[in-house]
Structures are given as structure tokens and as C-alpha cells.
Structure 1
Amino acid sequence: MLSPRWQGSVMGIRTEHPIVVHRRRDRPDIDDRRLAAEVKAGSVTRIVAGSFARTDEWQALTPMNRHFTRVLEVADRARGPVVLMLNSAAAVHGMDRIGAWPDRVDVRIPRASGGRSSGAVRRHALGFDDVELMEWRGHLVTTPAQTALDLAAASQFRDAVIAIDQALWERRKGGALTDVDALRALVDATWRRGFRRVPAAIAFGTPLSDSVRESEGRVLLDRLGFPRPVLQKKFVLPNGRIARPDYYFEDFDHAAEFDGTGKYFDPDLLAGRTPQQALLEEKDRSDALRRMVSALSRWRTPAHLKPTLLYDILTADGLPSRLPRPRGH
């Protein structure tokens, strides 16, 4: 007997397509030969069978929104209600990740059905006992808390922390998706095999990590032996603006930041500025912050891919580690 933990619906959950999608079934006048030629030429991208988008619009989407678009297309053509889970539920809730998003949409089905996957769908025959579900566009999706736990249970520690941080992120538009108490209560109520690593990820999680790279950086800092930082500490710059560095090591008056490139290229983050203007503003901000602390370290993605580089950057800037320099990657 199925006994999902029913949570109803949540205001603000994403439901609309981020781009215009053209569907073969809605356009009987489409010339299939011409469409195939456009796909081959690269001007049109196939999302799932029978659904297409202009390639320039598709490529302008974030990887999460590309997967979200696939989820919408699969849901809209399903013959009955589907139950979304894992990365597909994360895309619905706006919970980001590091690495490539899957091409297939993850759905949960009854245990007796078998887990056969085909086309754009990956089926998980896990049943619905003690799973928190909520309504979504005539379908069901695991709640943010359930989604975070499912992802954490299926991931290594870094990605488990990222999933937890994304669910707890308090500066998200509309606020945090859940809280630590809800996560812990759900673990206690639905404990199962694979949850062994989840409590540690919850304990390490924070509502203050503003991006997946910041979450990844926290894990790396801990593994490299650096002190636990204060996150998003507020500094009032001489011009009155507020600076909140990603990390601040109080005992050493040392601020540190992951310098992502999105702020220089993402139209939403640019907010009408040119990339050059954004770069100059960021330089002025960093210079002002540097004059207020004893040390400021900054790094980009390569330092996460090669932790020895991150170790060298921080120790060269005067931040001590309790561990020796790691060997290799």
C-alpha cells in the first residue's frame, strides 16, 4: 500500500518554460526534411523527440534550465501523472549542481513496475513509501527537503553538501526552500540505506552559501586543513557600499572569495552594465575591501579542479593550514 508523505503544493515553484519550444505535434505544416536539415546544420536543437528550440536560445539557457525544459516537455506529453525526483526535481525547485545535468528525466515508479528506462525518461522503481511529495502542474515532485536528501544519499560528500546548501540557501529569491530541522526530521522519519552520509552533509550545510562553487569551496577548505570561515561577513566600504566576501577567517583577519565569471557575462547579474563596467566595479570593490583587512585571497575555477593550487594561493597569502600541502590533484 502506497503511503507518500503528502505536502500539498508550494507557492513560487517553477512551472513555465524559460524559452519558446516548438512541438512537431502542434505544427502539421512543418517540413520534416527542412527541420532535419536545420537540426543537422545546428540552427535548431532537438530537446526531446518531437520538441525543438532555436539553438541560440537553447545555448543561452543555464544547464539547469535546459534540464528543466526537458522536464516540462516530458511532463506535458506524459499519458498520466509522473513523480519527478533527483535532478529533475532539483531543476523544478531551482536547486543547482556542479557538473553536467543528465539528458534523461528522473521519475519514480512503483516497485513492482521495474526500472526500465527509454527515450527521455529514466525510471526508478523505488515505490512511494514515506516519500514527501507535492503537486506540480498536474504531476508530483519530491519536496525540496526530500530532493536534497535523495541527492545527498546518491552523491559523494561534496555534491551532498551542495544539495543541502541549495535547499537551505536563505538569500534565494522567495527565501530558503527548507530548514535544517525539517531535513533532520525527514531523515529520522524515512531513514533508509544510503542515508549513512546524509547526517554529516546536513551538519556541514549552511543557509549562507550563495552558489554551488562557494559550497564546493567550503568543502575544499576543510579538506585542505584551513580554519572554518565565517560566511558572508558584512563590510561597509568607504563609498557606503556593502561587501560580503564568501569567506572570512576571523583569527587572521583574512577574507577570501571565489571569483566566478558569471558576474561578468550573465545578463541578469550585469543588470544593464557592460562586462567591462562590471569588471572595473569588481576591481574597485576588491581594492577597497583589501584595504580593510589584513589579507584578501581570490581564485577561480582552476583552483577547485586542482586543490594544490588553492592551497598554494591561501598559504602564500598568509593563511595557515593544519595539514601539509597535498600531493597531486
Structure 2
Amino acid sequence: MSSTTAPSATELVVMRRREQLDVVDDRRLRRNLASGSWTRITAGSYVVTAEWRRLRPIQRHRVLVDEVARRLEPGAVISHFAAAAQHDIDILGAWPRRVDVRIERATGGRSGGAVKRRAIGLEGVEREPFGMHELTTPAQTALDIARSAPFLVAASAVDQAIWRDRDGGPLTTVEELTSLLDAVPRQRGDVRARRVLDVADPGAANPRETKAAHVLRSLGFPRSRSQERRILRSGRLVFGDRYFPEHDHWLEVDGRGKYLSPDFGDDRDPHEIVIDEKNRENEIRREVRGFSRLEATDFDNPRLVYDVLTADGLPSTKPRP
């Protein structure tokens, strides 16, 4: 059987009807889909549901792109969210159900099935080889999304593309994106893209951090920076999710699964991890003027964020929402 490799080195076995009629026969297909043991990726491509569920959303979209690309005529230009998944540029929110393909303006091609054709032209578009097709470069991909997607989705994609702590380094920079934006005649979405680039943050490690920064700005809190690095008096190296330098205020943003993550030590139980985290917090509190703690999901409730931070002494220029 053929396989697709995800960034986590998870091997996903894809069963393709046109190649494996002995495995994907009508009776077995109907039975496995009805029982939920198989999941349909796209027409003619299926996967064991348990394996599919282990993938992150960006990995699932990458597999969808791979499968749809196999059926496209050679020379397609994979772009926007489809290209983002291939470059491991994550986004805030759900991934689309169709694969983006960029085409010439004059072709007038229609979207249909698993393909979304974007007739916005190919002149001056940066591309790279992608099997029998082409893929927009990371910079082009981030800029395309910045021009066309809702602000937070666009900002998360740009932040992920310029993320400075990515393994292997950032895929692009704000300077490169700005140069690419200026290199072609003005087009629809340029104003939106410049707004996104104005607040781009290479320190945002994931889309939730991008959203947190946006919520903090919208609530009128002072300028902050992500992933603050500090060596405490004990010699311990710590990183803060957000730090407000004007007020020496430290903000921790935790996910509920944090204390169960193997990243915090396979040899320690959650109780030990909680105690160590509390000791870490106490050390930080002794070295800053202000300290706050929120959960990642709290940023879905701006009023709660406002109340917690103002109660902890961080000023805002705006009234309570």
C-alpha cells in the first residue's frame, strides 16, 4: 500500500480505489464507512479512522492536498491554505475542505468537488517544484493568505511563516513579505495584507499566541512581546508567554493538557509537575512587578481577560468590554 508521512513521522496508510480494488471493493468499502472504521479523505481515497484521528488538522489537510494533487492535470499551482499545509504553516481555526489551486485570471476555471480554483493570476507569483505540479513558496503563500483571509487567520499564518524558533529557522521574514508585496502592481487585498504585516510577531509559537496578542491589543493593554526569556536568581531559565515591558508584567498562558504533556517529564507524575510549576511561578513573582495567569481558552472571552489583567494591576486604555 502507499503511504503519506506527516511531520510527526506518523505513517498513514492511504487506500486508493483505483490502485487497490482487492482492498477497496464496494462491499468492504460500504461496510467500513458505515461502521466508522474507515474515513473518506476524498473521492477514491480512504484511511483507517483511528489513524486519521491521530493526525493534527494541518496534517489531515496535507494528506488531502496530496491525494487531490494526484488527480490534477500536471502543472497545477497549489496555493493558499493547501500550500500552507505543505509548508507546515499552521492557521487559527478550521482548515478548508477543498484544495486551493491558483490559476490565470483569463481562464475562468470553476471550483468544484475537492478543488477551489482561485483565478487571480500567476504573473510574478513565486513558485517551487511539487512533484508534477508547483507550490507557492512560503513567502508567497503567507502573503496570499494575508491578502484574502479574515484578519486573525491571516495573522496566524504570517506569524507561523516568520516564526523565529522553528526547527531549521523561519520560512520567511516580514522584510521578505513586504518586498514581495511591493514588487508587483497593487492588487486586491494589499491594504489588508499591510495591516497584518504591521502586527506580525516572529515570537508567536502557535496560532493561539497570535490570537492572544490580538485580543490584548483590542482590549487596550500596553505593548507586549511573546516568549520572554529570563534567567532567574536561582539560575533557572524561564520563558514567559507574554511580557509587558512598560509595566514589568509577566503573563503565563496555559493549556489544560500542559501538566499531562510528556514535555514536562515522563518520570514525574502530574502532582510533582504542578508543585514545580508553582515554585517556578513564585520565583518569577519575586522578580517582576506584576504577574497574571490565564488559560488559552480564556482568550475566547475578552471580558474575562480584561478582568483578570486589570485586577492584577495591568492598566488598559479602554473601558471594560
Q: Normalized against structure 1, the TM-score is what?
A: 0.87
Partner of 1:24: 17
Kindly indicate whether the alpha-carbon contact (under 8 Å) linking 2:253 and 2:295 is maintained by their aligned counterparts in 1: yes
Partner of 1:93: 87
- State yes or no: 1:276 paired with 2:270: yes
Task: Provide the alpha-carbon RMSD of the alignment.
Answer: 2.4
Look up the equivalent residue of 2:52 and give its one-letter code.
Answer: W
Identify if the C-alpha distance between structure 1 residues 275 and 150 changes in structure 2 by more than 3 Å, giving closer, same or farther: farther
Size of the alignment, in residue pairs? 312
Where is the strand percentage greater, Structure 1 or Structure 2?
2
Identify if the C-alpha distance between structure 1 residues 286 and 62 changes in structure 2 by more than 3 Å, giving closer, same or farther: farther
Segments of 5+ residues of structure 1 without an aligned counterpart are: 1-12
Partner of 1:193: 188
Distance 2:151 2:303 in 1: 19
Give the superposition deviation at 1:319: 0.5
Look up the equivalent residue of 1:29 and give its one-letter code.
Answer: D
Higher relative contact order (CA 8 A, sep 6+): 1
Identify if the C-alpha distance between structure 1 residues 228 and 273 changes in structure 2 by more than 3 Å, giving closer, same or farther: farther
Distance 2:55 2:264 in 1: 16
After alignment, is 104-113 or 211-220 more displaced?
A: 104-113
Partner of 2:228: 233
Partner of 1:120: 114
Secondary structure in structure 2 of the residue aligned to 1:19: strand
Percent identity (aligned): 45
Partner of 2:78: 84
Partner of 2:205: 210
- State yes or no: 1:153 paired with 2:150: no
Distance 1:51 1:264 in 2: 37
Identify if the C-alpha distance between structure 1 residues 118 and 157 changes in structure 2 by more than 3 Å, giving closer, same or farther: closer
Secondary structure in structure 2 of the residue aligned to 1:202: helix
After alignment, is 251-260 or 316-325 more displaced?
A: 251-260
Look up the equivalent residue of 1:21 and give its one-letter code.
Answer: V
Specify which of 290, 294, 303 is matched with residue 298 of structure 2: 303
Distance 1:91 1:311 in 2: 34
Secondary structure in structure 2 of the residue aligned to 1:34: helix
After alignment, is 220-229 or 195-204 more displaced?
A: 195-204
Specify which of 176, 191, 209 is matched with residue 170 of structure 2: 176
Give the superposition deviation at 1:261: 4.0
Moved over 6 A (4+): none
Distance 1:238 1:21 in 2: 53
Partner of 1:135: 129
Kindly indicate whether the alpha-carbon contact (under 8 Å) linking 1:106 and 1:121 is maintained by their aligned counterparts in 2: yes
Partner of 2:3: none
Q: Normalized against structure 2, the TM-score is what?
A: 0.89
Distance 1:265 1:126 in 2: 46
